[in-house]
A and B are shown apart, each in its own frame.
Chain A
Amino acid sequence: METSVKQAYAIETEALTKYYGDFEAVRGLTMLVPKGSITGFLGQNGAGKSSTIRMLLGMSRPTRGSGRVLDFDIANEKQSIEMRKRVAYVGEDKRLYDYMTVGQMIDFTKAFYPGWRDDVEKKLLEEFRLPLDRLTKKLSKGMRTQTALLLAFARGAELLILDEPTEGLDPVMAEKLLELVVGAAADGASIFFSSHQIAEVEQIADRILLIDRGQLLLDTTLDSISTDFRRIRGVYDTAPVMSALALDGVKRVAVDGRTVSVMVSHNSVTIAERMRAQSATAVEVSPMTLKEIVLESLKRDQS
């Protein structure tokens, strides 16, 4: 039973922590990424996204805590190697070996993946029109990104981990990349991608993890955002009793004069009724966008 539960997740971390010297880049991060999902890993620059990804892939070691990717222990090198046979990664800067041509990069990478998808390689080569005999250092940034994507998508991976995949790309290229990600997910791959672009996460993700200063602030689905997340505004004649708003689902309470604004992740009906019962003269319940939720959550963290 326990095994089947674990296998439901592509990524699991438990109190994952990373220090660089005295700086705590990741603080006790506990998160679950379901298999088959497209999970957006949101956060500002320096929030700890890349540090987390590097730990997941065995590039750096956790200071504390544990993690499993496709049920392989990230701290165990043998298991990490097995995991990496099933995972494709595209880093933020998408740098490739300067001394190799595009063709050599493909041949080199292919050698490590018995399940290499020649069909995907061919399709993307045609689509991107990559010059096989050109050194990667002579490629434009867009072409280098396309090469990096080809090398990742043709691995036939169960899990794609993309670190800021659209960073530095023009809108057309970024859009194409997002289409590829959705296509890979449709083929059965799980996707875990970090970004600080809320719009692109909203466009393709079905699950959101928001991290700030190394801590998880939000773990929800896009569906939940549209159906459950609400902002409730109440205008009071007299000062409200704030402790009365300490209810299940309340994520943030802000007071501006006689107006109380509450961000709720669920339970909005009960919370609105409680505010009316507290003599709020006008209570307004409105849906929230992902952008509003992210900004509110980050405000809370900064307060």
Chain B
Amino acid sequence: MTRALCHKAWLETRTRFLVAAMITIAVCAFFTLAHTWIENGWERDLIEHPEYDNPAWFLRAMRDYPFFIYHYVYSDFFQKIWVFLAVLLGIGGLSREAAHGTAGFTLSLPISRLRLFATRALVAVAELFALTVIALVAIVLGSWVMRLPYPIDHGLLHLAPLFAGGLVFLAASLCLTEFVEGENTPVVIALGAVGLLYFAMQPYVDGAPLDWFAVPFAIPKLMAGPADIRRVGDVAWGGLVASLAGAAVFTAIGIRRMQRSDY
């Protein structure tokens, strides 16, 4: 039964996953393969437009390739895409099936609602994990092709918090779809909320010191981790545990809602 449910969850999300995998490969490969081209453009800009007010990370990103990857992949551009992908992988569930008209068929099967939810969540987590691996492979392979030295442990130490942070957004998405009925409404709400969060957090992503009131929402910074991460001890474990706890809370709320809902 679990196998059948997992297969169902996979078939339900496979298009989204494959699109997510292609986006991940495209973005990660772009920042490795196009690094030299981007760097040359920056150097040209520095000469031609010395009046430009460049951000704090700019000069270091020009000289330090792992930092360049850190900035564009783990801290800023790809992280935002990553969060959107995590949200999309979490969309589904019985409310969406009710909008589709298949909830009756699913609920007539001899399985608990908890098992339905757990299987769907498990497949989504597995897909997110697969995307993490795909991102790492794309970065390492792209760097190798371009003969740019890139330490794998740098990738691992940054992708781990990215994965953990992604779980929070995935769980939030799983939870949201149990509260909001309709096929597309949860997607719009979830992506809108993520967009707002990143809009509000962008100054801190760009390097501003974190204000006290922004700490609970500082998950983008937590997912990026410190720029000079070198060892396992450098990872913000406390923040990661908080992320996982947040994911657990969202999951528990989603389960509770699903258990009590009428379909």
Residues in A lying within 8 Å of B, measured CB to CB? 20, 54, 57-61, 77, 81-82, 84-85, 87-89, 91, 93, 95-100, 104, 107-109, 111-113, 148, 151, 163
Can you pick out 20 interface pairs between chain A and chain B where the beta carbons lie within 8 Å of each other?
A59-B262, A77-B113, A82-B110, A84-B109, A84-B110, A85-B110, A87-B108, A89-B105, A93-B101, A95-B102, A97-B12, A97-B102, A99-B14, A100-B8, A100-B11, A104-B11, A108-B4, A111-B4, A112-B1, A112-B110
CA distance in complex: A87, B260 (Å): 22
Number of interface residues of B (CB under 8 A): 25
The answer, among A58, A82, A98, for a CB contact under 8 Å with B107, is A58
Q: A84 touching B7 by the CB < 8 A rule?
A: no
A13 to B9, CA, bound (A): 35
Chain A proximity of B188: nearest CB distance (Å): 20
Among A54, A77, A95, A109, the residue within 8 A (CB) of B109 is A109
Residues of B within 8 A of A163 (CB): 104
Q: Enumerate chain B interface residues (CB-CB to A < 8 A).
A: 1, 3-4, 7-8, 11-12, 14-15, 100-105, 107-113, 260, 262-263
Q: Cβ of B12 and Cβ of A57 under 8 Å apart?
A: no
For the complex, give the distance between the alpha carbons of A61 and B263 in Å: 9
Closest chain-A Cβ to B142's Cβ sits at a distance in Å of: 32
Docked complex Cα distance between A190 and B123 (Å): 37
Tell me whether B100 and A98 are in contact (CB under 8 A): yes
Nearest chain A CB to B10 CB, angstrom units: 10
Q: Please, how many angstroms separate the alpha-carbon atoms of A148 and B105 in the complex?
A: 9
Contact A111 B1 (CB under 8 A): yes
In contact, B108 and A84 (Cβ under 8 angstroms): yes
A87 to B100, CA, bound (A): 23
Q: Closest CB-CB distance, A55 to chain B, in whole Å?
A: 9
Contact, CB under 8 Å: B105 / A99: no
The answer to whether B102 touches A96 (Cβ under 8 A) is yes
| A112 with B12, Cβ < 8 A, contacts A84-B109, A89-B108, A95-B101 known | no
A91→B105 contact, CB < 8 A: yes
Q: Are A112 and B11 in contact (CB under 8 A)?
A: no
| A77 x B112 contact (CB < 8 A) | yes
From residue A48, how far is it (CB to closest CB) to chain B in Å? 14
Q: Chain B residue with minimal CB distance to A112?
A: B109
Separation of A135 and B102 alpha carbons in the complex (Å) = 15
Most A CB contacts (10 A, CB to CB) among B12, B110, B260 go to: B110
Task: Point out the residues of chain A lying under 8 angstroms from B14, CB to CB.
Answer: 99
Measured between alpha carbons, how far is A84 from B108 in the docked complex, in Å? Answer: 6
Contact A111 B3 (CB under 8 A): yes
Set of chain A residues within 8 Å of B110, measured between Cβ atoms? 81-82, 84-85, 112-113
Residue contact A81 to B262, C-beta cutoff 8 Å: no
Q: What's the nearest-Cβ distance from chain A to residue B5, in Å? A: 8
Which B residues are in CB contact (< 8 Å) with A148?
105
Which chain A residue has the least Cβ–Cβ distance from B8?
A108
How long is the Cα–Cα vector from A248 to B215 in the complex, in angstroms? Answer: 76
Report the bound CA distance from A107 to B1 in whole Å.
11
Complex Cα spacing A59 to B112, Å: 11
Closest chain-B Cβ to A110's Cβ sits at a distance in Å of: 8
- Among B4, B113, B263, the residue within 8 A (CB) of A112 is B4
* Residues of chain A within 8 A of B102, CB atoms compared: 95-97
> Considering the chains assembled together, what is the distance between the CA atoms of A208 and B42 in angstroms?
81
Interface pair A59/B100, CB less than 8 Å apart: no
Q: What is the CA–CA distance of A140 and B100 in the complex, to the nearest angstrom?
A: 17
Residues of B contacting A97 with CB < 8 Å?
A: 8, 11-12, 102, 105
Instruction: Report A268 CB to chain B, min CB distance, Å.
Output: 42
Q: Are B12 and A99 in contact (CB under 8 A)?
A: yes
